[in-house]
Structure 1
Amino acid sequence: MVPRPWLMEQSWSEAVILHWRLPVRVAAEHMPPGTVPEVFDGSSWVGLIGFRMSGTRLGTVLPLPYLGSFTEVNLRLYSRAADGSRGIVFLSLDAPRLPVVLAARAAGIPYVWSRCRPTSAGRPAPVYGYEVARRGRQPGTCFAVRPELTAQADDPLSLHLTARYGAHIGFAGRTYFLPVSHRPWPLHPAELVHIEDGLMGAAGLAVAGPPESVLFSPGVRVVVGRPWSVPAP
């Protein structure tokens, strides 16, 4: 658990979690100072994740019923630093709440103001998906999965990709680690129903074929702690 006082707490639910292999040298180009790509099975990994955020509170007291409830889709890499922190490096985070986007960008977090919505359906079997439409002619994304809710995904790759308890963020020439705490994600294997993605290309990445890892989680409750500075390289 991250130490109090917390910055905020919130719920992340109906998470669709897709991952592809990425050459380590490519991931290294996007790492903030003092961090390097984390490697699993000889590769770095890039993730495309959609989920619903809700129940946000500043600290543990002040609820944010509108600004803290929205759909988010983020594109991410995975990092580690000499201080032992293992985290996420966000390439983009799409969300529909403009005040949230502006505040996050001011802190170095690369949010993008977009039309971002869930595309879930319940019949004949539950399908969970997300769609992003950026302003103008910018690329977006649309993807959906059908989870196998009676099965658990507890293989080493799934656990490696989701056991992330913070983010490395480059800001004003330095790198900070923003810690989060939550119970391990409850994970289910899933079948990819469809994907049409332009966010990878917009971030300067290219991947081959469908995602190697396709997961679904009903979600977790999260607390966000205070950031600390990562030692300079």
Structure 2
Amino acid sequence: MERPPLSAVPEPLSRVAPHVAGRILFRQSWDDLVFLHWPVDPGDVAHLFPAGTRPDVIDGATYIGLVYFQMRRLALGVGPALPLIGTFTEINVRLYSVDTEGRRGVVFRTLDCERLLPSAVARSVWGLPYRWAATRKLRFGDRIIYTTRRRQPGGPTSRVWAATGTQGHACGPLGDFLTARWGLHARAWGSTYFWPVDHAPWTFRDVSLLSHDDDLVEASTGLRVARGMPTSVLYSPGVRVRFGTPRRLRGV
């Protein structure tokens, strides 16, 4: 099947999520998020995007994101939060996409998670590239450390150490481009889907990157950009999130 033309004009960026209509599949909270980002040439990552999507760009560049956070209160539909398995540390590598209908989103390359069951279900049912890993979060006052090691011989590792502040931080146009994403694109069941997401507008606080060391980006994209200092570093105390029903892209 030929890929349809990717000429749709991207929807305008908005810091306010559109309403997710229909059935809510999942609810969860994302806490203590540290975002690291590096610019790359769109042509260097275009082959990593699912059919019907392309790299989204700002000022001629697209970005690779490395995001560390604590998942809490994972729940199915309107049910209660899942005990034990509903709370875990996650580290993901993501790209920024736009589809044939102009919807902006993210494409996950990997999602490292310490819980085996959620990882296995997300991979087998929804086609999301979860990996079982030994992940950990430590906090000492204003200092936060995330680490992960993939549970395989010689598996990639990642670590970040940051100092978080209490003052509000305006993330600017680039920060909005990287974080005001109201869905994800994924390939599953032989088609490409867009999963709508909504949550309150992001709030950011001052943050200083003390150190980082990462193999995940190179392992999942083939690019060594994460060995250098990130162009953008952001910290958010978190948001509560709802996932709607996936919508299949027409023709792909």
Counterpart contact for 1:189–1:214, Cα < 8 Å = no
CA distance in 2 between counterparts of 1:41 and 1:147 reads 28
Counterpart contact for 2:28–2:73, Cα < 8 Å = yes
Deviations 1:84-139 (A, max 9, x none): 211110000000111111111112100000001113221xxx12231001122111
Match of 2:189 in 1: 172
Match of 2:207 in 1: 190
Displacement of 1:183: 1.1
Counterpart contact for 2:30–2:69, Cα < 8 Å = yes
User: After TM superposition, what 4+ stretches of structure 1 lie above 6 angstroms from structure 2?
Assistant: none
CA distance in 2 between counterparts of 1:101 and 1:147 reads 29
Deviations 1:57-79 (A, max 9, x none): 21112320212111100000000
Q: Per the alignment, in what secondary structure is the counterpart of residue 86 of structure 2? A: coil
- Confirm whether residue 130 of structure 1 aligns to residue 146 of structure 2: yes
Which one of 59, 69, 79 corresponds to residue 61 of structure 1? 79
Displacement of 1:228: 0.6
Contiguous gaps of at least 5 residues in structure 1: none
Displacement of 1:201: 1.5
Q: Per the alignment, in what secondary structure is the counterpart of residue 119 of structure 1? A: strand
Q: Per the alignment, in what secondary structure is the counterpart of residue 65 of structure 2? A: strand
Match of 1:221 in 2: 240
Counterpart contact for 1:16–1:128, Cα < 8 Å = no
Match of 1:109 in 2: 128
Q: Per the alignment, in what secondary structure is the counterpart of residue 218 of structure 1? A: strand
Contiguous gaps of at least 5 residues in structure 2: 1-18
Which one of 173, 191, 196 corresponds to residue 156 of structure 1? 173
Counterpart contact for 1:47–1:75, Cα < 8 Å = yes
Displacement of 1:145: 1.5
**2:42 maps to amino acid:** V
Displacement of 1:38: 0.2
Q: 1:30 to 1:7 in 2, by over 3 A?
A: same
Match of 2:28 in 1: 10
Q: 1:189 to 1:20 in 2, by over 3 A?
A: farther
Give the TM-score of the pair, scaled to structure 2: 0.88
Deviations 1:166-206 (A, max 9, x none): 11001233100111100111012421111110001111122
Q: Per the alignment, in what secondary structure is the counterpart of residue 210 of structure 1? A: coil
CA distance in 2 between counterparts of 1:206 and 1:22 reads 11
Match of 1:200 in 2: 217
- Confirm whether residue 209 of structure 1 aligns to residue 209 of structure 2: no
* Count of residues paired in the alignment: 230
**2:159 maps to amino acid:** C
Which one of 59, 65, 68 corresponds to residue 50 of structure 1? 68
CA distance in 1 between counterparts of 2:72 and 2:168 reads 26
Identity %: 40
CA distance in 1 between counterparts of 2:160 and 2:181 reads 23
Which one of 100, 122, 130 corresponds to residue 82 of structure 1? 100
CA distance in 1 between counterparts of 2:242 and 2:72 reads 13
CA RMSD of aligned residues (A): 1.3
Give the TM-score of the pair, scaled to structure 1: 0.94
